[in-house]
Amino acid sequence: MTEEQNWQVPGAQPPIPPTAPAPQPDYGPPPGYGYPQQPGYGPPPGFGYPQQPGYGPQPGWTPPPKPGLIPLRPLSFGTLIGAPFQTLRRNPKITVGSALLIQAIPSLVVTLLVFGGAALLLGRVFNADRGDQSTLAAGAIGGSIVLGLLSVVISAISGALLQGVVVGEVARGTVGEKLTFRALWRLVKGRIGALIGWSFLLTIAWILPVALVVLVAVALFALGGGPGIGGGVAVVIFGGLGLTALAIWLNTKLVMVPSAIVLERATLRSAVVRSWTLTRGYFWKTLGVILLIGLIVYMVVQIISIPFTVIGAMVGGIFAPTSASDGDPSGFTQLIVSQLSINVLASIVGAIVGAIMSVVQTSAIALLYIDLRMRKEGLDLELVRFVEARQAGRTDIPDPYLAPIRPSAPYPQNAPYPPAGPYPPTGQYPSGSYPPPPPA
């Protein structure tokens, strides 16, 4: 060490040399502490529970298969809303083509007949002499009723045909099949009569109560005075509200009837019972999907049809601005013809868009039917077996939609165990619900 390193300030204390840290006491056990290991003690070789099947590390979760339109599992609300629109994109030749061929063209024919007949009848009424106008007006009313009934009949038939085709397309598209129109027609042609019968039955079932309410209200209004008018208004208000609530309830409970008719080959009575049973416990979900899809379809149709309605309201003021005030029959006829022309064009566009959107509505109902059968009857398992068997090359596969899977009857509560004997004794308990034998 040099002198510079040893130098320190005069009067300072000499530095303390570093010392080693004091040893810490050892609190552990002394060496050799504890009991010596005795031979024969400890777990024997192979000690432990045997590996049970189904326990231990499980393989990773795999999503359910999706061979076609939807995954083969109970559907979520979002899938029920989005999948109907995918139906149009998946097989547009069938869906859009069927909509145009089966519903749009008949609707256009009905529209032309109704508007053409209305224009002809109104033209005759306004161009006739005053003495003949009352007779011609009565004939125009009768002709309008006939045309209205004709439109109802054609709409019911075309709607039933489209329902059958769309239900078949959704059902086969769920298992990954993309059929042609001819194959779909072979699938549903035997059920067309039942579908048309259901459409007419449903139409008549709603026309009669509405007509009854209208007749009662008209009879009360005809009496005159305060009580008659008040009673007529009350019948119209409360009768309308009651019929609306009844229509919402019954239509929701019976919305699965076309699907059961087509896919299960059910009769009208069996299809009604089937729809009523499937929607039990799922009324509000079914109603919510139907209302939301209906609202979307209505908004789309209105967005496309509103411009034609506005043009139709303006065209009369452009081509015949004084026809309503000058009393000239030719000017009034020109107004009627111009407005009817715009209305016909608007009806054509609306019929095309409405037919396409009706495919979405029918697809939503068919998907609801499939979802309810998955939740209540395990249809998703049957569809998975069908897809796997088809991929294995089998051709003798039964239709998974044809026969509903009935859940086995539960074992009766507080029932005693049967006496000892062969298990299960035949004929004593429902199939599939026999309990295990009691412990010895």
Q: What distance, in Å, lies between the first and last C-alpha atoms of the chain? A: 96
Q: Are 384 and 72 in contact (CB under 8 A)?
A: yes
* Model pLDDT for residues 3-17, shown as the tens digit of each residue: 445 555 455 555 555
107 vs 90: CA distance, rounded Å: 25
Query: Which among 252, 259, 246 has a CA at the least distance from the CA of 288?
Result: 252
| Residue 45 confidence (pLDDT) above 70 | no
- Single pTM value for the model: 0.69
343 vs 116: CA distance, rounded Å: 11
Structure tokens at 270: 């069996």
* Model pLDDT for residues 345-401, shown as the tens digit of each residue: 777 777 778 788 888 989 999 999 999 999 998 898 889 988 888 888 887 788 888
* Model pLDDT for residues 251-300, shown as the tens digit of each residue: 999 999 999 999 998 888 999 999 999 999 999 999 999 999 989 888 88
Q: Are 408 and 430 in contact (CB under 8 A)?
A: yes
Give the list of residues 6+ apart from residue 186 with CB closer than 8 angstroms, or none: none
150 vs 25: CA distance, rounded Å: 108
* Model pLDDT for residues 122-180, shown as the tens digit of each residue: 666 666 666 666 666 666 676 677 777 777 777 778 888 888 888 989 999 898 888 88
Tokens 């109802």, located at residue: 152
Residue ranges per structural domain of the chain: 77-391
CB atoms inside a 10 Å sphere around CB 92: 13
* Model pLDDT for residues 110-137, shown as the tens digit of each residue: 777 777 766 676 666 666 666 666 666 6
